[in-house]
Structure 1
């Protein structure tokens, strides 16, 4: 059971209310993640602003979802894997085979996107200590040094939500239920400290 409240526009503090109103206007509902982050308006504002900045990167919508799904699966975030699976399918119009591969930690059927996912996973798994062959493979796949840093932006933004979801035990929104995810058995379930 969580010690945190999932705020609505009515229960949020004065600083968070306009941010949640913006979420409602943009998405048509206030996600439980936004409602949870509303406990600290600065955290919610940071998440919203990082989302907007990540959307301005040079990656296309499918590449952005590859990055976000790879991070979320590597961080074992059931909430974000479900949410980004839905976004990838319905908003980014990504190939379902790519989404399923990401959800299951398998190689992607597109070699360039597989290099992107592999590099992103390595950044998360190795806490940013990525060099040598992994970095060379990413560049050889056609990505730039600037995109290395854009992946890091994605990691920063998605780690905020992944860790928030772990700590506050964010319930999955009805809007994402069709894409509910349990991590593959080979990953092993992590326990809280």
Structure 2
């Protein structure tokens, strides 16, 4: 799962980044350059048709990026099978790239608190549809499907989370997240609603922080016209054929 792996790598690389120079990566890292789209904000479509638009801002050549960012991109791509477009688009500003993924890691990949990874992804889906962010809705719906093993819930939330097949806990969580997303006045009643289903005050902070962080992410996606990778659309919809995977590994 690229989000788990990216979180761990970001922590490691951010710690080292202040020690690294702006030197170009070794030649081996440039082999993946074609997938990042070069200096144009497009990449060739897998069907051989016209280039797929990724961003309205230029995407840097990897040879021009700091080494720690290139290393992260290569490891994410190698282990996840593809490089999510958010990595490419935000590399336009390397310092902000590091800050973005550092906070992302703290919110989405930490092991403390009472919110599961699937629930965190559900918060992103619900608030991102309110903010009309195609990239985050598509990519985080895919991650929710994988974490939850429920292939239809995210789609239901996209249409109307109030009518989705959610538990009382999930519904209260999304009600709170949406109140933050809409900039409603937060009252003690909001906290009490969370506490009734097992969340505490620190969980409330986490829910609100995820909603707030992705409000920023949603708006950056609007600014850049960031488009989701085609791979995200089908992720987690059909169970993987383990026998087929084992056969491939055997070759």
Q: Give the TM interval when normalised to the shorter protein.
A: 0.7 to 0.9
Q: d(CA) in 2 for partners of 1:7 and 1:155?
A: 29
Secondary structure of the structure 1 residue equivalent to 2:105: helix
- Quickly say closer, same or farther: Cα 1:148–1:72, change in 2 above 3 A: same
Of the three residues 148, 163, 168, the one matched with 1:93 is 148
- Conservation of the 8 A alpha-carbon contact between 2:86 and 2:226: yes
| Shift in alpha-carbon separation, 1:20–1:7, aligned structure 2, 3 A | farther
- Distance of 2:75 and 2:93 partners within structure 1: 16
The number of residues matched between the two structures is 176
Q: Unmatched 5+ residue regions in structure 1?
A: 180-193
TM-score (norm 2): 0.62
Alignment correspondent of 2:180: 123
Q: For residues 75-94 of structure 1, what are the structure 2 equivalents within 5 Å?
A: 75-90=131-146, 92-94=147-149
1:60/1:161 CA distance change after superposition, 3 Å:
same
TM-aligned CA deviation for residue 97 of structure 1: 4.3
CA drift at 1:116 = 0.6
TM-score (norm 1): 0.79
Specify which of 181, 184, 201 is matched with residue 145 of structure 1. Answer: 201
Runs of 4+ with >4 A deviation: none
- Counterpart-to-counterpart distance in 2, 1:175 and 1:37: 19
Aligned partner of residue 29 in structure 1, secondary structure: coil
CA–CA separation in structure 1 for the residues paired with 2:102 and 2:216: 12
SS of the residue corresponding to residue 83 of structure 2 reads coil
- CA 1:8 to 1:133, structure 2 compared with 1: closer, same or farther past 3 Å? farther
- Contact 2:133/2:221, CA 8 A, preserved across alignment: yes
More off after superposition, 74-83 vs 22-31: 22-31
What is the correspondence of 1:1-193 to structure 2 with a 5 Å cutoff? 3-7=56-60, 9-10=62-63, 12-14=64-66, 16-54=69-107, 55-56=109-110, 57-58=112-113, 59-90=115-146, 92-107=147-162, 108-109=164-165, 110-126=167-183, 129-178=185-234
C-alpha deviation, 1:51, in angstroms: 2.4
CA RMSD of aligned residues (A): 2.4
Structure 2 gaps of 5+ residues are: 1-52, 236-251
CA distance in 2, matches of 1:36, 1:100: 26
1:177 to 1:69, Cα distance in 2 relative to 1, 3 A: same
Q: Determine which structure has greater relative contact order: mean sequence separation of CA pairs < 8 Å that are 6+ residues apart, divided by chain length.
A: 1
